[in-house]
Chain A
Amino acid sequence: MSFSKTIMLRNYDGETFVVDEVVAVEPQTIEHMIEDGCANTSIPLPNITSKILSKVIEHCKKHVETPNSNEKDAKADLKSFDFDFVKADQGTLFDLILAVNYLNIKGLLDLIYQTIADMIKGKTPEEEEEMRRVNAWVFSCFVGVTCLYFKSKKI
């Protein structure tokens, strides 16, 4: 029987999540923390809520457990998972962006940005304005980054 190393993540609400190390290092930020020797007790993540943190962990788990093969089944499975994953309301999505940005999880970041881009694509200018107002803070902070992102993905 082998031990798989586990990491504890503590979030904004004070809840702890015990996660396999292999899953925990999907977010690069956490990976660095571990490397630099700061994961002796547990890793505090004060600016992430339980709801968001559990969603993030779920996503990381799924991607780690799926073997990295070129089989059509595995790919299709992953794709449908991702598709369901982002079927959330705008509020949740924007909270997710903040968390994923902080944690630096590339794959998930791309997925969410693409989703938002698709959302914006479909909207009229009025609807876009509405979206901006509701999530003003997010937009103001991320304008630079998302612009870069949009530019590179060429929507």
Chain B
Amino acid sequence: MSSQKKKNFQIEAFKHRVVVDPKYADRTWKILEHAIHEIYNHNASGLSFEELYRNAYNMVLHKFGEKLYSGLVSTMTLHLKQIAASVEASQGSLFLEELNRNWAEHTKALQMIRDILMYMDRTFIPSTRKTPVHELGLNLWRDNIIRASNIQTRLKETLLETVQKERNGEVINRSLMRNIVKMLMDLGPSVYQQDFEKPFLDVSGNFYRSESQQFIECCDCGNYLKKAEKRLNEEIERVSNYLDAQSEVKITNVVEKEMIESQMTRLVHMENSGLVNMIVDDKYDDLGRIYNLFRRVPNGLMLIRDVMNSHIRERGKQLVTDPERVKDPVEFVQCLLDEKAKHDKIVNLAFNSDKTFQNALNSSFEYFINLNVRSPEFISLFVDDKLRRGLKGASEEDVEIILDKVMVLFRYLQEKDVFEKYYKQHLAKRLLSGRSVSEDAERSLILKLKTECGYQFTSKLEGMFTDMKTSHDTMQGFYEAMGRALANGPILSVQVLTTGSWPTQSIPACNLPHEILTVCERFKTYYLGTHNGRRLTWQTNMGSADIKATFSGGKKHELNVSTYQMCVLMLFNNVDQLSYKEIEQAVEIPTVELKRCLQSLACAKGKNVLRKEPMSKDVSENDSFFFNESFSSKLYKVKIGTVAAQKESEPEKQETRQRVEEDRKPQIEAAIVRIMKARRVLDHNNIVAEVTKQLQSRFLANPIVIKKRIESLIEREFLERDREDRKLYRYLA
């Protein structure tokens, strides 16, 4: 660029002549030819731009454009051949440098030449559709240098060698590489692709193929992945630094294919370090890495998901069928919650909270939780434990957290109606014994169940709460009304339970002690006086009592016992010893209950207010019982009642299951009728499918049972079979 010099004032006279003779064209061309030589020989400073421009302008103007153009081509080609020879002759590492230097000079020269010949570029070339000067310069370079037979191969090999050196850890001249690559791109993307990119990708493929073989033999899964990730990042960095951006996707595909896709299965199943081990040991980094690498290859994530799924299902199956675990329901459920939490954390931390993985997790849990038919019962017991004492002193938030986690497990249950049955039983016991930690927590859980399953599911449960409240008010009214008359008698607290809502069994009442009976009758009269058309039955199997007992040495204790236990103990007010048979006759309690009752009074350590002979763990019908004078306890109030909910015994379990099955029959029938009423005519398979779908939220309907119900409905003339097609049913209005 011109410097800030003071300009001289010069006045010169010039003659302007317009001549058309052919010798003129030759002379003019000679001037320009000379100029081009000088430019290539770095002697441009001696030239006058304006003069050259004017000469070119005149040639074109006088229709010698063709001569000018072809002259340009041959002159440039001449120089380029010289350059090619010089580049070929360069030794070893100087090859690229020579090439790069000459390229830089050529581009500079080209620009100058183009500026001088600008007029031709603007006018002659478009009208004759020839290649413009700049592009011409590039093409000539490409054909005479890059594609020269001695240079083409050598260039490719040198470039690939350099990349390989860098992959082996050597430091290379990156800016030189960048310039050469840019040169190839300037010559046209196809030049870059043919002369460099394609061989680059091939060689890289081979390199990574053998490297992956090497690594897989000597590395464990975690380390292999680290190496693969490192190589991948290296390649990306290489492209951004000195290759063309279009190569990024192509080279990463190569690395992904050779290092990841081809070894995918082997990595995942690697002993002691594969996917399963990572999951079991909570290796979040490794898991995150495997997720990020595998998502780049087709089916990578699917492989991870499948392996994870089968692992969880296997593990879960072991958990729920392990006889040791099954002994403690609360522990059992806690284990499930822990498993869920652990795997949730893995999906969230390492797998990017990927929805497909969350779904896979859910389906696996649903699968194995339902493998154990007692899962609904156990979950209810877990909740019972928490609501009776586990959540004591916990903040509202903590309560919500635990209940929400339980709801997650609840959703997995296929037999939700079984859960409902047990939940009702356990809730009843909690309410009646006043053992619930917080009514708010109870209500919160019921609300969650209602949101999940609908009003029907929880209406009876809510009824139970209502009964408790109403009974409280009733008792207040009772004592206000009776007041004086009951001052000296036992204090009664009655809960009036609406039959449909509570899990009651119709067991006949036992024989209550006289004092109790009196006040009970009084209540009955009072209640029936204020409520018409109702019938009350005492549920002696569900009550409890607090009695004051005096032992030897004047020691007094308050005993909290069940109603049955109270009846038995009151017998000892009159005598000190009773045989089993005598007791049985007096109280009329069913055998199983009686045995359990006596067991808890005589055989439990620290609570043996009775003595049994002979001393043994179980109660037999030949035993005798004595009032235990020497009973002692540190506490004044002693709890002996067996009111807490427990895991059911075998026979009890069978009974509950039977009742659940019985309850399902009408539900199935109702569903069948609903469907047939809407569809009028339907074939067997479709009915079964529809019924199953409708009842899915409560339980999994058994096709055999459905079939039986259909037949029963046919008998009762709700449906009929089609005369021709035995598989078709019709609704009878």
Select from chain A the residue with minimum beta-carbon distance to B111.
A36
B55 CB, min distance to chain A CBs, angstroms: 11
Interface membership of chain B positions 5-48, coded 1 if the CB is closer than 8 angstroms to chain A and 0 otherwise: 10111111111100000000000000000000000000011011
Number of contacts between A and B (CB, 8 Å)?
A: 84
Interface membership of chain B positions 347-390, coded 1 if the CB is closer than 8 angstroms to chain A and 0 otherwise: 00000000000000000000000000000000000000000000
Set of chain B residues within 8 Å of A55, measured between Cβ atoms:
none
Contact B122 A104 (CB under 8 A): yes
Contact B16 A5 (CB under 8 A): no
A43 CB, min distance to chain B CBs, angstroms: 6
Contact B50 A33 (CB under 8 A): yes
B149 CB, min distance to chain A CBs, angstroms: 35
A135 at the interface (CB under 8 A from B): no
In the complex, chain A residues 45-80 whose Cβ is within 8 Å of any chain B Cβ? 45-47
Contact B112 A104 (CB under 8 A): no
Set of chain A residues within 8 Å of B11, measured between Cβ atoms:
10, 14-16
Q: Which of A81-89, A110-118, A119-127, A140-148 contacts B (4 or more CB under 8 A)?
A: A140-148
Contact A33 B4 (CB under 8 A): no
Interface membership of chain A positions 18-61, coded 1 if the CB is closer than 8 angstroms to chain B and 0 otherwise: 10000000001100111111111111111100000000000000
Select from chain A the residue with minimum beta-carbon distance to B48.
A38
B190 at the interface (CB under 8 A from A): no
B401 at the interface (CB under 8 A from A): no
From known contacts A38-B50, A144-B123, infer whether A32 and B10 are also in contact, taking CB-CB under 8 Å.
no
Set of chain A residues within 8 Å of B1, measured between Cβ atoms:
34-35, 37
Contact A32 B49 (CB under 8 A): yes
Contact A42 B10 (CB under 8 A): yes
Set of chain A residues within 8 Å of B115, measured between Cβ atoms:
32-33, 35-36
B53 at the interface (CB under 8 A from A): yes
A46 vs B14: C-alpha distance when bound (angstroms): 6
B172 CB, min distance to chain A CBs, angstroms: 35
Instruction: Give the number of residues in B that approach A within 8 Å (Cβ atoms).
Output: 34
Contact B16 A46 (CB under 8 A): yes
Contact A12 B16 (CB under 8 A): yes
B59 CB, min distance to chain A CBs, angstroms: 13
Set of chain B residues within 8 Å of A47, measured between Cβ atoms:
16, 54
Contact A148 B50 (CB under 8 A): no
Contact A34 B127 (CB under 8 A): no
Contact A10 B7 (CB under 8 A): no
A6 at the interface (CB under 8 A from B): yes
Q: Which of A14, A29, A37 contacts B2 (CB 8 A)?
A: A37
A51 CB, min distance to chain B CBs, angstroms: 14
Q: Which of A14, A34, A42, A43 contacts B14 (CB 8 A)?
A: A14
Contact B50 A12 (CB under 8 A): no
Interface membership of chain B positions 116-141, coded 1 if the CB is closer than 8 angstroms to chain A and 0 otherwise: 10110011001100000000000000
Set of chain B residues within 8 Å of A35, measured between Cβ atoms:
1, 115
A102 at the interface (CB under 8 A from B): yes
A19 CB, min distance to chain B CBs, angstroms: 11
21 A-B pairs with CB atoms under 8 Å apart are A5-B4, A10-B10, A10-B12, A10-B14, A14-B12, A14-B14, A16-B11, A29-B53, A32-B49, A35-B115, A36-B49, A36-B116, A37-B2, A40-B2, A42-B10, A102-B119, A104-B118, A104-B119, A104-B122, A141-B61, A145-B127
